């Protein structure tokens, strides 16, 4: 759950980055498509406008260079009068408002009809005309009064206009003799441009949707692959850190185990002598000191039993002796050992068993050590007249032990270092009990964790794979009961 909470901000951040990257990519794509369509529109408009100029230029050449020598335009066009006759003949085409005639130098010569205003050729147009190529200009909002002296409507008349400049030259002398300027109505051309712009807009939208969709899918797929790789890398990094922590914990607990074995070996003989001394002198004292000596005898006996239990477990780990214990026998053993401790502390100990299963004697010995330590800690944390509950549930190849107390719970700082050696919240505690229990659980292939910690108490969960869910028909050997041997 905690891991999911840690990954949730990363997921939200990744989604924001993905949305930002897709938005930027679509913006760049849209800008590229828009600029390309705009340039294409300009080129198409110019091409269509130039098309009319090329047609008029072709007509003028046909009229003056016809094969019929009897035509009136078969002669030279050096005379402005012949030039005017030629362009008047061409101006009979539909849509021509008026014509102007310019000299080769670009100066105004004449205009037809007479109300057509005078004008000058732009220098850049004259440069192109001198190469005997026509030049066209389309004005979508042309002012009619600029070309027509009679157009005196209030506010002016705005209409589409097409100005076509056609070079005039003879067949034998390919040089500019004059310039014929045709002023044409541009409504037809305007409608053509509107239709062209509409088609270009639809084409741009379709191209953007198709390419944008493919780009979005590609970026989303690539981003998810990268995000999945990042999550995998983060998970592996977390696993490596956890493994390093467990290795460090194993090293610490192994060292603690070696020290404990050395202490047990050194304390065994002195403790035996101390127990004999206490038993001897306790039996000969008066009644006023009976209670103290009885407590001393019980304490030395409990210490002796603890050492004997540890020595026995270590001995079984190094021998070939093998037998099995059922889950209910393990529950009875734990209850028999911990009930006296609970009664002495004034705390109720309740045991609940569900399911079945078996453990080998080596597994059972370590399980008992772990549970005794957990129950001992729970009893010490629980006030008098409160309860500690031990549940054993065996199912689906796993047995789950849960120890629940009714104490005040653990603080956040304690939970962070809960299984760290040499860190304890109890007066006189060494802090190695839970650390060793954690290591023993890992050694058995199980897990030991703090399931819950609130103001109403804590719940520790110890899960372990079962060797068999069906208990054996009989037990080869049982472990004799003794006083509690929990880890402090």
Tokens at 268, concatenated: 């065994």
**With bands split at pLDDT 50, 70 and 90, how would you rate the model's confidence at 264?**
low
For residues 475 and 104, give the distance between their C-alpha atoms in angstroms, rounded to a whole number. 126
Task: Kindly report the backbone phi and psi dihedral angles of residue 250, in degrees, each rounded to the nearest multiple of 5, phi listed first.
Answer: -65, -40
**Of the candidate ranges 64-68, 149-153, 336-340, 348-352, the one whose mean pLDDT is the lowest:** 64-68
pLDDT in tens, 265-312: 566 666 666 666 666 666 555 554 566 666 666 666 666 666 666 665
Let me know if the fold of 76-185 is the same as that of 322-488.
no
Question: Is residue 332 within 8 Å of residue 364, measured between CB atoms?
Answer: no
Tokens at 97, concatenated: 């408002």
Choose the CATH number for 76-185 among 3.30.450.20, 3.30.540.10, 3.40.50.300, 3.40.1280.10.
Answer: 3.30.450.20
pLDDT in tens, 324-377: 888 888 888 899 888 988 998 899 999 999 888 888 877 888 888 889 889 988
Task: Kindly report the backbone phi and psi dihedral angles of residue 410, in degrees, each rounded to the nearest multiple of 5, phi listed first.
Answer: -115, 145
Cα–Cα nearest to 71, from 81, 86, 56, 58: 86
Give whichever of 33-47, 317-331, 415-429 has the largest mean pLDDT: 33-47
Q: Model pTM?
A: 0.43
Spans of all domains in the chain: 76-185, 322-488
Class of domain 322-488: alpha beta
């Amino acid at each position: 759950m905690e891991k999911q909470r840690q990954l949730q901000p990363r997921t939200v951040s990744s989604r924001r980055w993905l949305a930002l990257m897709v938005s930027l990519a679509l913006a760049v794509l849209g800008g590229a498509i828009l600029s390309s369509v705009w340039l294409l529109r300009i080129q198409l408009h110019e091409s269509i406008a130039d098309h009319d100029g090329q047609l008029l230029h072709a007509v003028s050449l046909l009229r003056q260079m016809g094969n019929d020598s009897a035509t009136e335009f078969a002669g030279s066009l050096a005379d402005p009068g012949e030039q005017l006759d030629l362009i008047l003949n061409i101006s009979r085409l539909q849509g021509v408002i008026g014509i102007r005639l310019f000299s080769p130098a670009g100066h105004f010569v004449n205009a037809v009809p007479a109300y057509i205003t005078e004008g000058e050729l732009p220098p850049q147009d004259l440069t192109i005309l001198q190469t005997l190529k026509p030049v066209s200009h389309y004005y979508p909002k042309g002012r009619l009064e600029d070309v027509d002296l009679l157009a005196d409507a209030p506010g002016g008349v705005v209409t589409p206009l097409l100005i076509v400049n056609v070079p005039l030259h003879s067949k034998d002398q390919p040089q500019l003799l004059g310039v014929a300027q045709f002023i044409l109505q541009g409504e037809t051309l305007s409608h053509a441009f509107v239709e062209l712009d509409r088609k270009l807009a639809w084409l741009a939208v379709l191209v953007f949707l198709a390419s944008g969709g493919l780009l979005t899918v590609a970026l989303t797929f690539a981003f998810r692959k990268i995000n999945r790789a990042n999550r995998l890398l983060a998970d592996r990094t977390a696993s490596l850190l956890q493994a390093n922590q467990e290795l460090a914990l194993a090293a610490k607990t192994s060292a603690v185990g070696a020290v404990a074995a050395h202490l047990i070996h050194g304390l065994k003989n002195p403790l035996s002598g101390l127990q004999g001394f206490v038993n001897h002198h306790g039996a000969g004292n008066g009644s006023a000191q009976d209670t103290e000596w009885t407590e001393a005898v019980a304490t030395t006996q409990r210490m002796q039993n603890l050492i004997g239990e540890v020595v026995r477990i270590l001995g079984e780990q190094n021998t070939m002796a093998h037998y099995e214990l059922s889950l209910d026998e393990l529950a009875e053993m734990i209850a028999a050992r911990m009930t006296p401790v609970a009664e002495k502390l004034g705390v109720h100990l309740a045991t609940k068993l569900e399911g079945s299963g078996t453990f080998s004697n080596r597994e059972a010995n370590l399980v008992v050590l772990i549970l005794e330590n957990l129950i001992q800690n729970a009893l010490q944390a629980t006030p008098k007249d409160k309860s500690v509950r031990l549940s054993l549930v065996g199912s689906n190849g796993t047995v789950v032990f849960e120890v629940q107390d009714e104490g005040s719970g653990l603080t956040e700082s304690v939970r962070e270092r809960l299984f760290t050696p040499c860190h304890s919240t109890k007066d006189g505690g060494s802090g190695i009990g839970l650390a060793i229990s954690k290591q023993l659980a890992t050694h058995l292939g199980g897990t030991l964790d703090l399931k819950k910690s609130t103001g109403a108490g804590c719940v520790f969960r110890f899960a372990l794979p079962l060797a068999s869910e069906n208990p054996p028909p009989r037990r080869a050997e049982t472990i004799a009961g003794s006083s509690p041997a929990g880890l402090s």
